[in-house]
Amino acid sequence: MSEVIRYDEEFNELFDKAGRLIENARSAIGSMANMLTVYSSFQMGKYIVEQEQKGENRAKYGTQVLDSLSSFLTEKFGRGFSRTNIASMRKFYLIYKDREAQIVQSGIAQLPAFQNSGIVQSEIAQSTIKSEWPFCLSWTHYQVLMRIEDPTERAFYEKEAFDQCWDVKSLKRQYHSSLYERLALSRDKSDVMRLANEGSTPYKPEDILHTPYVLEFTGLEDKAAYHESDLETAVLGKLQSFMLEMGKGFLFEKKQRRFVFNEKNYYLDLVLYNRFLRSYVLIDFKIDELTHQDLGQMQMYVNYYDRYVITQEENPTIGILMCKEADKELVELTLPENSHIYAQEYKLYLPDKALLQQKLHEWIEEAQAEQEDRE
């Protein structure tokens, strides 16, 4: 019989080191495999475009190139080289060909996989490849991103997917829920381009607001009768999806925060914290018509946090009332300016992306017209 292995404390350090070594090695292998896949796809797309440009009748010739290459690679290497995949590689090169100089600078072509001799030609290229590599996501991510026609919107989702560590499923969900359009419509006109360049990192309270919030993951039907407690329970049951919808930098602190005033109990639905804004974010769900009493109650919660909870290093507390219908005029009339309290609508279904895009284009055109008038 083999001797039973005992997991004594004296071996804990060894076990930890061994475990981290294996995890790091697997991570590095996965990262390198992804870079090689993306690079191969980019180069394949480049070869196809270069071959097409040699043909006289490019439309007919282009079809021949894709079909012929797909048949050859499938026969030689098996699955993974369908005409659709080959066409995706071509499209990938055409969309991202402006990054070719960065690819060359990264030195990935000097890796053994791409050298006849099997010897790395440049140790410097090998050591700098990750810092210079222009593609930070997986090939599957880029297959989703390539469906987005607007370069600004595409750049936004690419940056957010990397910064927020979205898997492909999360990327698809955020795209189909029109996160880009909803964030853009929630901001000042001058902030739209910043979304693509910097992602959705919040700098002021308004930056965390969406128009509207999309809570389709709760599973509640929009026309069905439900109570505020049903909505809160559904959100808490899908807390990870809710935090993803809220945006960057949010941390969960408490549900059903109890306040006692004049021997009366009040319960705040959710308490979050945003580490970028360094602010508490208090959330209450309202399924009925928004009233000035609702706003006054949220003002009470915010005042409590500002007076008794936050530290000198933290910024004022933010209150968000998530309502089926937000009455902006009531908010402006009831609350003082710069109160950091907002009434935002939520939807229990994915919004019409085409309609949101139309509104966004109209919005941008109005901004450009205003800019021209000022000039």
Per residue in 29-63, pLDDT (tens digit) is 767 788 888 888 898 899 888 887 776 555 555 56
Residue 128 has pLDDT above 50, yes or no: no
Comparison of pLDDT for 236 and 117, the residue scoring more: 236
How many Å apart are CA 262 and CA 247, to the nearest integer? Answer: 36
Q: For the chain, give the percent of residues with pLDDT over 90.
A: 7
Comparison of pLDDT for 128 and 197, the residue scoring more: 197
Q: 345 pairs with which residues across the strands? A: 323
Average pLDDT score over residue span 333-341: 80
Least confident of 33-37, 146-150, 369-373: 369-373
Q: 214 pairs with which residues across the strands? A: 347
Residue 368 has pLDDT above 90, yes or no: no
Output b/e per residue, 55-86; b: 16+ Cβ within 10 A.
Answer: eeeeeeebeebbeebbeebbeeeeeebeeebb
Residue 145 has pLDDT above 90, yes or no: yes
Query: What is the band of 132 on the pLDDT scale with cuts at 50, 70, 90?
Result: confident
Q: What's the token pair of residue 149?
A: 């026609």
**Helices of type H across the chain:** 12-52, 58-77, 83-96, 100-106, 123-132, 139-145, 151-163, 168-176, 179-185, 192-198, 228-237, 239-246, 292-308, 328-334, 353-374
CB-CB contact of 187 with 202 (8 Å): no
Query: What's the first-to-final CA gap in the chain, in angstroms?
Result: 88
CB-CB contact of 171 with 147 (8 Å): no
Helix (H) or strand (E) holding 254: strand 250-261
Average pLDDT score over residue span 130-156: 86
Residue 199 has pLDDT above 70, yes or no: no
Query: What is the band of 5 on the pLDDT scale with cuts at 50, 70, 90?
Result: low
Per residue in 88-110, pLDDT (tens digit) is 999 999 999 998 888 888 777 66
Per residue in 212-239, pLDDT (tens digit) is 655 555 555 555 544 556 666 666 666 7
| Predicted local distance difference test score (pLDDT) of residue 50 | 85
DSSP 252: E
Residue 314 amino acid letter:
E
Average pLDDT score over residue span 253-279: 82
**Half-sphere exposure of 18 toward its Cβ, with a 13 Å CA cutoff?**
5
| Predicted local distance difference test score (pLDDT) of residue 119 | 38
Residue 349 has pLDDT above 70, yes or no: no
Comparison of pLDDT for 372 and 325, the residue scoring more: 325
Query: Could you tell me which residues come within 8 angstroms of residue 66 by beta carbon, excluding any fewer than 6 positions away?
Result: 48, 83, 86, 87, 90
Q: Phi-psi region for residue 237, left (φ > 0), alpha (ψ -120 to 50) or beta? A: alpha
Query: What is the band of 126 on the pLDDT scale with cuts at 50, 70, 90?
Result: very low
Average pLDDT score over residue span 137-143: 92
Q: Which residue has the tokens 């853009």?
A: 184
Least confident of 37-51, 145-159, 209-223, 244-258: 209-223
Residue 141 has pLDDT above 90, yes or no: yes
Query: What is the band of 124 on the pLDDT scale with cuts at 50, 70, 90?
Result: very low
Query: What is the band of 115 on the pLDDT scale with cuts at 50, 70, 90?
Result: low
| Predicted local distance difference test score (pLDDT) of residue 121 | 39
How many Å apart are CA 198 and CA 209, to the nearest integer? Answer: 17
For the chain, list the domains and their CATH numbers. 9-135 (no CATH), 213-350 (3.40.1350.10)
Q: Which residue has the tokens 């990264």?
A: 106
Q: 344 pairs with which residues across the strands? A: 322
How many Å apart are CA 259 and CA 170, to the nearest integer? Answer: 36
| Predicted local distance difference test score (pLDDT) of residue 61 | 59
Mean pLDDT of the chain: 75
How many Å apart are CA 44 and CA 87, to the nearest integer? Answer: 10
Average pLDDT score over residue span 297-303: 88
Query: Could you tell me which residues come within 8 angstroms of residue 267 by beta carbon, excluding any fewer than 6 positions away?
Result: 256, 257, 258, 259
Alpha carbon 195 to its chain's center: 11
| Predicted local distance difference test score (pLDDT) of residue 57 | 54
DSSP reduced 3-state for 329: helix
Model confidence pTM above 0.85 = no
Q: Give 265-323 as a DSSP string.
A: EEEEEEEEEETTTTEEEEEEEE-S---HHHHHHHHHHHHHHHHHT--TTSPPPEEEEEE
How many Å apart are CA 115 and CA 131, to the nearest integer? Answer: 21
Residue 189 has pLDDT above 60, yes or no: no
